[in-house]
């Protein structure tokens, strides 16, 4: 039957079992070595991946915190956010400001004269769109219009070239026909839009955005729509001011005020201890999460039974890379910020201390005291090129960067796995050849014994026959 083999026919010995035992005995030491090394390498590679992921998460948290807004120490509020909203920077100071908005900064919107909805250009030409002056003294942009272009084609040509400049075109239509309407996102007096041309085929598109042309009934023929662009007008503590933009980022030092509507509001800037405490706690939590991950990857655990105690080590227990990483990070935690001139140069001054397990904890009483006495120094300690967040990120980056320490470690471990795979292939081939050779030898022996037994039986039969004749 196909697939069936019988051994020991000649000798009565199970030669197949003997071959299997010899082959297994030859294979076992090397196989155990490959299996052990493969498991250990795969476990280490997985642990390195977990460590790298934890470090990248830590870096992401540091990057989000490393902004002056995270540790600004001040909060700015508007009493009526329907009138104005406000944000503060680290250079803001405590204070209160009465804001009264008379009008908002507006932008230019102009309309051409009415044309037939299906009108097309009779010849190619060029439209010049100017922002700032109808005479061309402002910023000018030339738009090439092909012959036979429809109103839609003219609109699309303008949008394609000027949308990035904040200028867009659209079409308004009614029973009388259609007209082109241009709008700008640029606000402030003197930003009027105008369209001019030297080509008679495009003369119907001309519009002076500084004036309005109306018919006998007072209806708009062409020109600016509603009103010309103007500056925002407002007072701060009674001082009259204007701005071409509704975003006031230089009017009150350290504040950005966004005008929303006309009316009155009070802008107040005060110490934001709770915001600072939240940012400090976020830093501590991010650091502790990293330490918890490294601890789980390096811990040694013991299992106690009634008869013995078993000790097991994690994947990176005693790993030199982890020891070096933790040393680099902890050195930055205890290093004094030598460039600090603001009164805070180490974490302990903020009540942030290291626990026995390596994690950080915050002493709320000390932190409150530090923030009350020196809140303005917190941002400089944490943020900026010399802040602790940047220094920690620099240390971690050498491990997580492309072709950095962990990348190289992963490459080396993968190379080891590839080598072990090659060794497994070589072992399998050697064992296969050994099994073939041993099987051939034992089969040959069995055949020889079978032949000898047959010869012996034949000789004995002959001798017995001779003896029987003599009788």
Mean pLDDT lowest for which of 1-10, 12-21, 73-82, 436-445?
Answer: 1-10
184 within 8 A of 166, measured Cβ to Cβ: yes
Helix (H, G, I), strand (E, B) or coil at 19: helix
**198-234 confidence digits (pLDDT tens):** 999 999 999 999 999 999 888 999 999 999 999 999 9
pLDDT at 406 exceeding the cut of 60 = yes
254 within 8 A of 91, measured Cβ to Cβ: yes
CA angle in degrees (0–180, nearest 5) for 281-282-288: 85
Helix (H, G, I), strand (E, B) or coil at 302: strand
CA distances from 166 to 205, 228, 469 (A): 20, 17, 129
pTM of the model: 0.61
Return d(Cα 116, Cα 179) in angstroms, integer: 8
Helices marked H in 214-262 — which ranges?
none
**268-303 confidence digits (pLDDT tens):** 988 778 888 888 999 999 999 999 999 999 988 877
Q: Which residues pair with 76 in a beta bridge?
A: 269
């Amino acid at each position: 039957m196909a697939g069936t083999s019988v051994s020991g026919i000649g000798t009565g010995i199970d030669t197949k079992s003997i071959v299997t035992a010899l082959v297994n005995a030859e294979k076992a030491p090397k196989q155990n070595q490959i299996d052990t090394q493969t498991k250990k390498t795969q476990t280490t590679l997985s642990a390195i991946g977990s460590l790298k992921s934890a470090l990248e998460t830590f870096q992401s948290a540091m990057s989000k915190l490393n902004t002056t807004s995270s540790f600004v120490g001040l909060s700015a509020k508007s009493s009526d956010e329907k009138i104005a909203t406000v944000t503060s920077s680290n250079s803001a100071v405590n204070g209160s400001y009465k804001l009264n908005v008379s009008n908002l900064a507006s932008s230019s919107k102009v309309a051409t004269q009415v044309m037939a909805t299906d009108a097309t250009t009779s010849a190619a030409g060029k439209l010049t769109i100017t922002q700032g002056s109808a005479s061309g003294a402002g910023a000018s942009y030339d738009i090439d219009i092909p012959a036979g272009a429809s109103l839609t084609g003219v609109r699309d040509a303008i949008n394609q070239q000027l949308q990035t400049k904040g200028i867009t075109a659209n079409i308004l239509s009614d029973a009388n026909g259609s007209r082109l309407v241009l709008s700008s996102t640029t606000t402030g007096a003197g930003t009027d839009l105008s369209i001019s041309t030297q080509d008679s085929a495009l003369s119907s598109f001309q519009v002076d955005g500084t004036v309005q042309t109306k018919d006998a009934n007072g209806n708009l023929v062409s020109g600016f729509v509603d009103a010309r662009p103007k500056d925002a007008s407002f007072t701060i503590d009674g001082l009259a001011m204007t701005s071409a933009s509704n975003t006031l980022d230089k009017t009150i030092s350290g504040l950005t005020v966004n005008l929303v509507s006309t009316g009155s509001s009070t802008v107040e800037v005060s110490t934001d201890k709770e915001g600072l405490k939240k940012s400090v706690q976020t830093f501590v939590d991010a650091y502790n999460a990293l330490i918890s991950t490294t601890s789980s990857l390096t811990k040694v655990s013991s299992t106690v039974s009634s008869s013995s105690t078993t000790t097991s080590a994690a994947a990176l227990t005693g790993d030199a890379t982890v020891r070096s990483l933790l040393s680099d990070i902890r050195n930055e935690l205890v290093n004094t910020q030598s460039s600090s001139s603001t009164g805070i140069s180490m974490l302990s001054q903020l009540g942030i201390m290291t626990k026995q397990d390596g994690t950080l904890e915050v002493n709320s009483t000390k932190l409150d005291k530090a923030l009350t006495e020196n809140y303005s120094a917190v941002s400089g300690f944490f943020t900026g090129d010399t802040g602790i967040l940047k220094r920690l990120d620099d240390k971690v980056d050498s491990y997580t960067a492309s072709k950095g320490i962990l990348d190289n470690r992963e490459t080396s471990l993968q190379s080891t796995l590839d080598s072990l795979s090659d060794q497994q292939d070589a072992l399998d081939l050697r064992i296969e050849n050994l099994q073939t050779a041993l099987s051939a030898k034992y089969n040959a022996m069995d055949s020889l014994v079978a032949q000898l037994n047959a010869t012996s039986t034949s000789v004995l039969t002959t001798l017995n026959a001779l003896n029987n004749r003599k009788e």
